Amino acid sequence: MIPRMAVSASTGTSSTALPRFPGDFLWGVSTSAHQIEGAAELRGRSVWDAFATMPGRVKDGSTADVACDHYHRYREDVALIRDLGVGAYRFSVSWPRVQPTGAGQVSERGLDFYDRLVDELCAAGVRPVPTLFHWDTPLVLEETGGWRRRDTAERFAQYAAVVAERIGDRVPTWITLNEPAEHTLLGHALGEHAPGHRLLFDALPVAHHQLLGHGLAVQALRAAGAGHIGIANSHGPTWAASDEPADREAADFYDLLLNRLFADPLLLGRYPDGIAEILDTPGLDADLKLISAPLDWYGINYYQPTLVGAPGAGPEEFSGVHIPPELPFAPREIEGRPRTDFGWPVVPEAFTELLLDFRDRYADRLPPLIVTENGCSYEGIDDQRRIAFLDGHLRSLHRALAAGVDVRGYFVWSLLDNFEWAEGYRQRFGLVHVDYATLERTPKASYAWLREALRAQR
């Protein structure tokens, strides 16, 4: 099927072709279960279902009950992926669809869905890249402590084994967790995402338990014969607002939270200074051994750099997130840059900086990288600004490759417009427009541009 193009002849703002990427470079698009699947009545409830019913938490008052109805329209969506010409599709498996209460009883109907999806992808010649956890913790688990409890890590590994047993024969590449940093910070420290806790630094065990869940899941996946396992972490350069010691200190602290709290234990087998003392967990050394078991590759989700200064002088709200005054840092606006419709600054060269810094920071401990998310929120089907964003970021990525950083793949966030968490349906990240009234899919100009750009790489 050739999808109907909204903008027939448009191939975007960039007149020059992208530089040449390695022949075996993995091109893909990403989504996540809760953001696109819908069919909520056919799965267990998750923390996001409960969060969406709390007044004011999701800004447009919406839920993901229907979302893009991908559960019923996955064939059409796989055809869009195939026709785009990418080699891989990163999706997530909904834990409450597979195990409605997060433990014990498995839903065969839930597993059947992923079975069908994986078959459809294989038939289309697209590599399935499932993420096992993209923030939709089964509600029943949350009600008994969720990721604040250590044994949720064990439940997660059991669920990972169930999924691997069912679809592992056709899945060549796995992702354990998506962005445990955001899930800790937004979901458990600041309460801006589900489950909505405002624990500030008492959220630290949530970070550790997710990392432990990752380590145990890697073990379970390997025991099931799975290979090529990675994790998708969000990272971005952190810039100090000035050379003043207070601003530098605040920026270092933010860098620790976003860039090192998860990467250091995974790649170096230790927490950054001071964290282990706060965590004060018995058996930490054994946990860290599990957490740092070698990965086949490391996933980076990149959106923007952050300018950070000493607390007190920053805005009370930043990118729609309320910043409590107790935090030892305050984000500041990056001026003089174009912004996405989400208000995020567009700084493609910071992407090169991030990748080079990562290589310098972790050196021979760093496995090959895959960019598991990069993208932007813009309204409109003739989305020339998305084309400029992707073009700029791919050129920056190529600069890092040319400088010797081992990056093996790049996934655009996202295939479809979808349920953007606390923003509801207000932010559109898709290469394909979704009309939420009719659920009709319309490929945007950026879809046509990417298809041509990939064709030129062949």
Neighbouring residues of 358: CB distance < 8 A, sequence distance ≥ 6: 235, 263, 300, 366, 369, 405
Annotated active-site residue 379? The verdict is no
In angstroms, what is the minimal distance from the CB of 428 to ligand BGC? Answer: 11
Distance CA 441, CA 128 (A): 21
- The residue written with tokens 């018995």 in the block is 282
Rule CB under 6 A: is residue 384 a binding residue for ligand BGC? no
- Tell me which residues in 29-48 interact with ligand BGC (CB under 6 A): 32
In angstroms, what is the minimal distance from the CB of 232 to ligand BGC? Answer: 7
Structure tokens at 398: 């190529």
Query: Helix (H, G, I), strand (E, B), or coil: what is residue 301?
Result: strand
CB-based contact 3:79 (threshold 8 Å)? yes
Answer for which of 37, 373, 383, 417 binds ligand BGC (CB under 6 A) is 373
Annotated active-site residue 373? The verdict is yes
Structure tokens at 32: 């996540």
- Tell me which residues in 161-220 interact with ligand BGC (CB under 6 A): 178-179, 182
In angstroms, what is the minimal distance from the CB of 180 to ligand BGC? Answer: 11
- Tell me which residues in 411-440 interact with ligand BGC (CB under 6 A): 413, 420, 429
- Residue 210: exposure state from Cβ atoms within 10 A (0-12, 13-18, ≥19): buried
Which is closer to ligand BGC, CB of 259 or CB of 301? Answer: 301
Backbone angles phi, psi at 17, to 5 degrees: -70, 155
Structure tokens at 337: 């840059």
Tell whether the torsion through CA atoms of 377, 397, 446 and 416 is positive or negative. negative
| Percent composition of the chain: helix, strand, coil (DSSP 3-state, to 5) | 45, 15, 40
In angstroms, what is the minimal distance from the CB of 423 to ligand BGC? Answer: 8
In angstroms, what is the minimal distance from the CB of 131 to ligand BGC? Answer: 9
Neighbouring residues of 280: CB distance < 8 A, sequence distance ≥ 6: none
Which is closer to ligand BGC, CB of 35 or CB of 352? Answer: 35
Angle at 376 between CA 25 and CA 137, to 5 degrees: 85
> Of residues 120, 192, 373, 420, which has the active-site annotation?
373
Tell whether the torsion through CA atoms of 196, 237, 432 and 128 is positive or negative. negative
> Of residues 37, 142, 179, 420, which has the active-site annotation?
179
Neighbouring residues of 96: CB distance < 8 A, sequence distance ≥ 6: 43, 44, 45, 46, 102, 136, 137, 138, 139
Which is closer to ligand BGC, CB of 36 or CB of 288? Answer: 36
In angstroms, what is the minimal distance from the CB of 132 to ligand BGC? Answer: 14
Rule CB under 6 A: is residue 234 a binding residue for ligand BGC? yes
- Tell me which residues in 292-311 interact with ligand BGC (CB under 6 A): 301
Distance CA 66, CA 61 (A): 14
In angstroms, what is the minimal distance from the CB of 427 to ligand BGC? Answer: 7
CB atoms within 10 A of CB 340: 19
Angle at 373 between CA 435 and CA 99, to 5 degrees: 75
In angstroms, what is the minimal distance from the CB of 178 to ligand BGC? Answer: 5
Distance CA 34, CA 48 (A): 8
Mask for 239-268, x = binds ligand BGC (CB under 6 A): ------------------------------
Site size for ligand BGC (CB under 6 A)? 10
- Residue 388: exposure state from Cβ atoms within 10 A (0-12, 13-18, ≥19): buried
Please identify every residue annotated as catalytic. 179, 373
Q: Which residues bind ligand BGC (CB under 6 A)?
A: 32, 178-179, 182, 234, 301, 373, 413, 420, 429
